């Protein structure tokens, strides 16, 4: 996150004058760039708040894209002396963190909310208002697909490291299993999200993880014909129990990339499911280690 921050402050886009519009955004690079690209060809000011490198929607939930920071940034930048008007255009997804009447009382600036997507801003400026379509939050297949590469890049190295360790401890099927569980969480889960049963992201992740773990566990059981029956069964059971916890954790993590979750809902999921994930994954890992040690002793 520290590598994707824009310095808070007031920025000029094009050649703005005292009557040019003022847009407010977070100091997360992607948020700033999306706004800058959408307004290409327009003369405007961009007021960047200090959100600790967090995007608008998440920062609004955390309170960093909020009333106090907005009022503070207006004062620090001397915005009242830069423009003649007293109008700020904020992203709609930042509304939960900002009290418009407090901003006006404390700074004299009136808050207006623009469309959900920065790409709609030119049309919004032409019309002077946001249409109902601009206000609608969607999470289509295409929008979910865009997120997969980002999630995959973050998971790639830990996934490969875990696969190597599990290969050494428990063999090929265990390595295949952890790769399958991670890919299920970061690739399949976003794609299948609307069609997975249950309401919570974590429980959906458990369902998807179980579907992935079942053939892996079966393969591990059948693939070790020379091992004792109880050892084959224990290793297969450990994979079937532990792998869904990995997928469920990644599914829970995906809540931060969606516009369809709430802060209270995510907190509830974390308190309810993370202990379960920890017990299942920890128990499975301990079982795999014990079986590996017993295999060395017996071998």
Strand pairing partners for 5? 28
Q: What is the CA radius of gyration of the chain?
A: 25
Instruction: State the pLDDT confidence band at 3, using cuts at 50, 70 and 90.
Output: low
CA nearest 106: which of 115, 114, 98, 117?
98
The residue extents of the domains of the chain are: 9-135, 141-298
Q: Are 23 and 114 in contact (CB under 8 A)?
A: yes
Strands 110-113 and 44-49: unpaired
pTM: 0.79
Cα–Cα distance, 274 to 202 (Å, whole number)? 9
* Model confidence at 17: pLDDT above 50: yes
Domain boundaries 9-135, corresponding CATH code? 3.40.50.11600
- Model pLDDT, residue 197: 93
Q: Are 168 and 218 in contact (CB under 8 A)?
A: no
Would you give the DSSP letter of residue 109? Answer: P
- Model pLDDT, residue 296: 83
The structure tokens 């404390």 sit at 106
* 270's tokens: 């974390």
Scored b (16 or more CB within 10 A) or e, 217-227 reads bebbbeebeeb
Strand pairing partners for 23? 46, 89
* 247-287 per-position pLDDT tens digit: 999 999 998 778 878 778 888 999 999 999 999 999 999 99
């Amino acid at each position: 996150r520290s590598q994707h921050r824009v310095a808070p402050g007031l920025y000029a886009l094009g050649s703005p004058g005292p009557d040019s519009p003022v847009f407010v955004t977070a100091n997360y690079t992607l948020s700033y760039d999306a706004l800058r690209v959408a307004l290409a060809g327009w003369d405007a000011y961009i007021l960047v708040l200090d959100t600790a490198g967090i995007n608008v929607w998440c920062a609004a939930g955390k309170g960093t894209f909020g009333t106090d920071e907005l009022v503070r940034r207006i004062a620090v930048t001397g915005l009242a002396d830069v423009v003649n008007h007293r109008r700020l255009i904020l992203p709609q997804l930042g509304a939960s963190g900002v009290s418009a009447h407090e901003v006006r009382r404390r700074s004299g600036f009136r808050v207006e909310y623009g469309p959900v997507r920065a790409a709609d801003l030119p049309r919004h400026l032409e019309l002077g208002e946001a249409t109902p379509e601009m206000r609608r939050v969607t999470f289509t297949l295409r929008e979910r697909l865009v997120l997969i590469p980002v999630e995959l890049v973050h998971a790639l190295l830990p996934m490969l490291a875990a696969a190597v360790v599990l290969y050494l401890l428990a063999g090929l099927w265990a390595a295949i299993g952890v790769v399958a569980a991670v890919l299920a969480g970061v690739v399949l889960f976003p794609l299948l999200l609307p069609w997975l049963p249950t309401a919570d992201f974590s429980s959906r992740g458990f369902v998807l993880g179980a579907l992935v773990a079942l053939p892996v566990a079966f393969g591990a059981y059948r693939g070790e014909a020379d091992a004792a029956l109880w050892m084959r069964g224990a290793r297969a059971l450990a994979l079937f129990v532990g792998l869904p916890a990995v997928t469920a954790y990644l599914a829970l993590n995906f809540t931060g990339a969606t516009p369809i979750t709430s802060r209270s809902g995510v907190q509830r999921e974390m308190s309810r499911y993370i202990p379960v994930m920890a017990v299942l994954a920890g128990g499975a890992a301990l079982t795999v280690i014990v079986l590996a040690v017993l295999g060395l002793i017996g071998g």
